Structures are given as C-alpha cells and as structure tokens.
Amino acid sequence: MNEDVHTLAGAYALDSLGDGERAAFEEHLARCEPCAEEVGGLLATSAVLGRAVAAPPPPRLRERILTEIARTPQDGADEPPAAPRARVPRRRPHLRIAPLLAAACLLIAVAAGGYAAQTRRSLDRADGRAAAIAGVLSAGDARTVTGAAGSGGTFTVVSSAARGEAVVAGSGVTALPGSRTYELWTMGARGVRPAGLVRPGPSGRIAPRVVDVPPGADRVGVTVEPAGGSPQPTTTPITVLRL
C-alpha cells in the first residue's frame, strides 16, 4: 500500500474495497491508530443515521393533534350571529389559530423530546461500540486473520490477547433465510462458547462487532444455526480462524 492508504478508511467502512485492497487495508488498520479511530467513528455514524431514517413517527401523534383541535372552541361559536349591515358581507367565524398552534407545537415538542432522548441513547451506544472496536484495532498486539467462508464471502478477525477481545467482520457473506442465522464461537482447549449472532446486510456485509475471547480460546468459528441461536454448534463451521 502506498502513502495514500489512510484515505481508504471511508471506502472500507462502506465495504467498497476490492478483496485485495480490503485485506491490505485491514493489515494496515491493525497498526494504525488514526485509521482505526476514523473507521470506528464512520461505522458509529452510519449506524445512528440508519436508525434515524428508519424510525417511524409516533403512531398516535396525528390523533392527539386532531383531538386537541376538536376540543378548542371557535370564536363566536356560542354567540348569536350579528345582524347584517348594509353593503357589508357577513364574515364566517374563524378558528383561534394561536391556541391550535400552541397545542400542536406542544405535542410535537413532547415527541421531539422523546426522539432526542432516544437519539442520545443511540449515540451513546454507538460511541461505546466504536470505542471498543477502535481499542482492539489499535492494540499493540492486534493480529488480523482473514478466511473464506464455505457458504460464500469472507470473515476477518482482529484479536488482542492483552485485551481478551476480538473484532469480527464479514464481507460478501451469503444471505440466509429468516429461519437461520450465523453464530460466532470462541474455541479452545476449554471448549466451545457462543459469541453472538450475526446477519449480513443487503450487500453481504457483516458490521464489525467485538466479542470476548476467554482464556484458552485460540480460534473463532462461524456456523449456521436456527434463528435464535444454539448453545453448542449444530453444524460444521463454515470457517475457523486462528487467533
């Protein structure tokens, strides 16, 4: 890789690198703390934006606004109509706009307050994940391994023995039916332990996630399991990566 390797962080976070470029950049990533921090931040931002776009409006917001409008009296609604004046057309009573706007703004403010709190929590969670990912990628003993999956695509693991953690990601991974999922495992002399369920996105990309590596574990494996996962592997691993 040349001196412009640092400019590939954005393309890596978007899973837009070719296989050769991706492998080379991941090798560089294990040694470059600025790139690790940039990739972690980009992944966190994309996750938050994705949730924001997908968030539906409060289901009862429209109903609440219409109910408030119905309760708001109209000017002149309880008064007898005034006698018409010569050559002066009678005006229809109009709604009191200010109270309606105030009621609508209040409801919107309440909803917005809920969204703000939800967004803050999402940001905090995303920041925590990004910091954990960056911590492993920038660790002094970080080691990167990549392997092809028997079902298609590749998995990459960046591990740090000092931290007892590993970052697992995938690209070009074959989609599974809703009744099945990919399950991660840590493996070693002390047995096999479940390390979480992952499912590829539309492009086959599995976003990086941190898994705990218990003492004695020296491999990370991936199997195809029922949607809810399994306490022990029920199929032959599609890939096993040595840490």
| CATH number of the domain within which 197 lies | 2.60.40
pLDDT, mean of residues 147-167: 91
**Confidence (pLDDT) at 29:** 75
The boundaries of the domain holding residue 226 are 139-243
Q: Read off the pLDDT of residues 2-33 as tens digits, 9 standing for 90 and up.
A: 556 777 776 776 666 776 777 777 777 767 77
Number of helices (H), then strands (E), in the chain: 5, 8
**Confidence (pLDDT) at 50:** 46
Question: Domains in the chain: how many in total?
Answer: 1
Q: Is residue 23 part of a domain?
A: no
pLDDT, mean of residues 200-208: 86
**Confidence (pLDDT) at 168:** 92
Q: Is residue 207 part of a domain?
A: yes
- Amino acid, single-letter form, for residue 67: T
**Confidence (pLDDT) at 182:** 96
- The share of the chain scoring above pLDDT 90, in percent, equals 32
Q: Is residue 115 part of a domain?
A: no
Q: Read off the pLDDT of residues 63-117 as tens digits, 9 standing for 90 and up.
A: 665 666 566 555 554 555 555 555 544 444 444 445 545 555 555 555 555 545 5
Q: Is residue 94 part of a domain?
A: no
**Confidence (pLDDT) at 62:** 58
Q: Is residue 152 part of a domain?
A: yes
**Confidence (pLDDT) at 82:** 54
**Confidence (pLDDT) at 26:** 76
Query: How far apart (Å, rounded) are the C-alpha atoms in residues 131 and 141?
Result: 17
Q: Is residue 62 part of a domain?
A: no
pLDDT, mean of residues 210-220: 94
**Confidence (pLDDT) at 21:** 78
For the entire predicted model, the pTM comes to 0.54
pLDDT beyond 80 at 51: no
Q: Is residue 199 part of a domain?
A: yes
Least confident of 48-62, 161-175, 201-215: 48-62
Q: Is residue 161 part of a domain?
A: yes
**Confidence (pLDDT) at 240:** 96
